[in-house]
Amino acid sequence: MGDNRRRKARTGAATVAKIDTVADDMLELVFLRLPSPLDLIRAACACKRWRRIIAGDNGRVIRSLHGAQSFHIIGHYRVDGRSYSSRPPGLNPAFFPSKSWSQWNNILPTRNLTLDFLPKPESSNFCWELADIRGGLLLLLLFDEEYYSKPPLRLVICDPRTRRIRSIPLSAWFHGCNFLGTFLLNGEAPGAYISLSNFRVTCALKRNGVARTCAFSSSSGGHWTSSATRGTTMICGNDYWTANGLPMFVGSTEACAYWRVQNGYLALDKEAAQLSLSVLPEALRGKPHIGEYAYKLPWPPMIRACLS
């Protein structure tokens, strides 16, 4: 009996060794030929290596899905809009599945993407605000609705698929500042996909007519850094386009966010956490006021969100 078990063990080890000898680029070609996103999800669940190839930042598999049709979107988080706000409208997020939900429901039930697992606010004036979505993770802030421009009471990142939450400590730089926006970015770990243990957050703040940024990184146990070492941007928020002396949020692209100020447009480079006065990009010109149309964030923005 012992000899049989040893022979089977050697056979199994040899099979694994043969699979591991297949180069990454060859596996990519196989994954690129899978007939549906559902097959990609199943393949990504097989092992860490396959998941890295499919969902990695440099993976051709994910890049091949850019421009894919809407059936790759599982659904949207819709939020309440606010007029003349310094931040993107994001109050009271609720998940609405897409028309193609049926092809996902067997592996990702609708309940998994609702946000009923978030801690219940301690007061009726407090509400959760959806700040950003990236790689299937949600960045949320808890605010007092009566003081919506003030710093948040809580800052969390969550994974609706696993219903897990990670709290982000509030920064001392928040004190006395008005909040302009908060954005979620990939972490610093090279080649790793975004996760609850590998992410960054960039915040835009305003105090006494000066805009500044601070950024959080989950690496090394988590830490905040401020833009003080890179300079700040003087702005004026007392013109027609602003409310309560605050810049008015105009819109956001993948790389930058924009606010209207008296002397032009304030631009935030999300990746570098740097502010500058800039020209509004063509993609955001001519759009209606941010409070005049429904604000929806897709989950996932691409299939990668399901593979994290």
Segment 53-83, tens digit of pLDDT: 876 655 556 555 544 443 456 778 888 877 6
Same domain, residue pair 233 and 94 = yes
In a domain, 264, yes or no: yes
Same domain, residue pair 141 and 250 = yes
In a domain, 13, yes or no: yes
Same domain, residue pair 182 and 120 = yes
Same domain, residue pair 196 and 47 = no
Distance CA 208, CA 11 (A): 71
In a domain, 190, yes or no: yes
Same domain, residue pair 16 and 96 = no
In a domain, 303, yes or no: yes
Using a pLDDT cut of 70, give the percent of the chain over it.
68
- Domain limit, last residue, from 41, 63, 85: 63
Mean pLDDT lowest among 82-86, 110-114, 297-301:
297-301
Average pLDDT for 24-36: 77
> What is the structure's pLDDT at 224?
94
In a domain, 70, yes or no: no
Q: Is 150 left (phi over 0), alpha (psi -120 to 50) or beta?
A: beta
Q: Is the pLDDT of residue 17 over 60?
A: no
In a domain, 68, yes or no: no
Same domain, residue pair 195 and 295 = yes
In a domain, 71, yes or no: no
DSSP 40: H
Same domain, residue pair 283 and 143 = yes
Distance CA 25, CA 186 (A): 23
Same domain, residue pair 272 and 137 = yes
Same domain, residue pair 124 and 152 = yes
Domain around 22: 2-63
Same domain, residue pair 11 and 106 = no
Band (188; pLDDT cuts 50, 70, 90) = confident
- Domain limit, last residue, from 13, 35, 63: 63
Digit-coded pLDDT (tens) for 99-142:
766 666 665 666 678 899 999 988 888 999 999 998 889 999 99
pTM: 0.71
Same domain, residue pair 114 and 55 = no
Q: Is the pLDDT of residue 165 over 90?
A: yes
Which residues neighbour 150 within 8 Å (Cβ) at sequence distance 6 or greater?
Answer: 143, 144, 178, 179
Give the H or E element holding residue 32: helix 24-32
Q: What 3-state class would DSSP assign to 120?
A: coil
Give the H or E element holding residue 80: strand 75-80
Number of domains composing the chain: 2
Distance CA 5, CA 124 (A): 63
> What is the structure's pLDDT at 140?
95
Same domain, residue pair 133 and 111 = yes
Q: What 3-state class would DSSP assign to 8?
A: helix
Band (243; pLDDT cuts 50, 70, 90) = very low
In a domain, 302, yes or no: yes
